[in-house]
Structure 1
Amino acid sequence: MPADTAALEERIAHLQRVVEDLSDTVARQDQEIALLTRRVALLMEREAARQDEGTGGVVMGDERPPHY
């Protein structure tokens, strides 16, 4: 019987470690998602302001502007 108890205690310890690791991962991802959400909101506000000003979009790479 003691061998079974030791095996169960070992499995419980392993599961506790896995749960803690997963909890840390979820907490880190929550912070990252919150940061990314704020950044997207800021970009959307900037784009809305740019559209209100009528300055148009940003030219990327070797793309020719639409007035050519």
Structure 2
Amino acid sequence: MSDVQSLTSRIDELEIRLTHQDQIIDDLNETIARQWREIEALTRQLAKLGDRIHLVEEHAGEPASTEPPPPHY
């Protein structure tokens, strides 16, 4: 009877460990998915900022206005 109880106890412990490991895996998976969504959003934002910087650099050498300066210059 002791062997049966010992085996039952070991099986119960393994089942408990498996349940905890399954929960940890699910939690880690959700964390990774959330981080991946955030990385994608940040990548899109960085690309937009890069485009804006590129436009600013293209127009940096152009005069602010096409009007001639006032005569007192």
What TM-score does the superposition give when structure 2 sets the normalisation length? 0.74
Structure 1 segments unaligned to the other structure (5+ residues): 56-68
RMSD over aligned Cα, in angstroms? 0.9
Structure 1 residues 10-37: Cα deviation after superposition (integer angstroms, max 9, x where no partner): 0000000000000000000000000000
The residue number in structure 2 matching 1:16 is: 22
Structure 2 segments unaligned to the other structure (5+ residues): 1-6, 62-73
Q: Runs (4+) of structure 1 moved beyond 6 Å?
A: none
The residue number in structure 1 matching 2:53 is: 47
The residue number in structure 2 matching 1:32 is: 38
- Larger relative contact order (CA 8 Å, sep ≥ 6): 1
What TM-score does the superposition give when structure 1 sets the normalisation length? 0.79
* Higher Cα Rg, which structure: 2
Q: How many residues align?
A: 55
Between the two proteins, what is the percent identity of the paired residues?
33
